[in-house]
C-alpha cells in the first residue's frame, strides 16, 4: 500500500517530539495535529503563514491543526508532539 493511501486510510503515521523554535520549522514539513502533554500556551505558525496562540491548553490535549512551526516565544506548554 502506498504511503499516501495508508495515511488517508489510517490517519496519523508519524510522531515527532517538538523543540519549539522561533527560527526553525518542524522536521515533518507540516502536521495533522499537535499533542500537548503539559498545560500552557501554544504559539504556532499555521500552514497558511498566520501566527496563532492557543491559551490555556490543557495537558493531554490533541489539537487537530496543520502547522509548520511551534514558536519558543509565546509557548509555555510542554511535552509537545507533532503528529503527521
The answer to whether residues 27 and 84 touch, using CB atoms and an 8 Å cutoff, is no
Identify the DSSP state of 6: H
Rounded Cα gap, residues 10 and 80, in angstroms: 22
In the prediction, which pLDDT does 49 show? 96
In the prediction, which pLDDT does 4 show? 57
Residue for grid cell 490535549: 61
The answer to whether residues 71 and 20 touch, using CB atoms and an 8 Å cutoff, is yes
In the prediction, which pLDDT does 6 show? 54
User: What confidence tier does 26 reach under pLDDT thresholds 50, 70, 90?
Assistant: very high
Sign of CA dihedral 62, 36, 32, 74: positive
Amino acid at each position: 500500500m502506498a504511503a499516501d493511501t495508508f495515511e488517508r486510510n489510517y490517519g496519523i503515521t508519524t510522531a515527532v517530539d517538538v523543540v519549539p523554535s522561533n527560527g526553525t520549522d518542524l522536521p515533518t514539513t507540516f502536521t495533522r495535529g499537535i499533542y500537548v502533554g503539559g498545560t500552557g500556551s501554544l504559539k504556532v505558525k499555521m500552514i497558511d503563514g498566520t501566527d496563532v496562540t492557543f491559551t490555556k491548553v490543557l495537558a493531554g490535549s490533541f489539537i487537530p491543526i496543520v502547522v509548520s512551526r511551534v514558536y519558543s516565544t509565546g509557548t509555555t506548554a510542554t511535552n509537545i508532539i507533532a503528529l503527521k
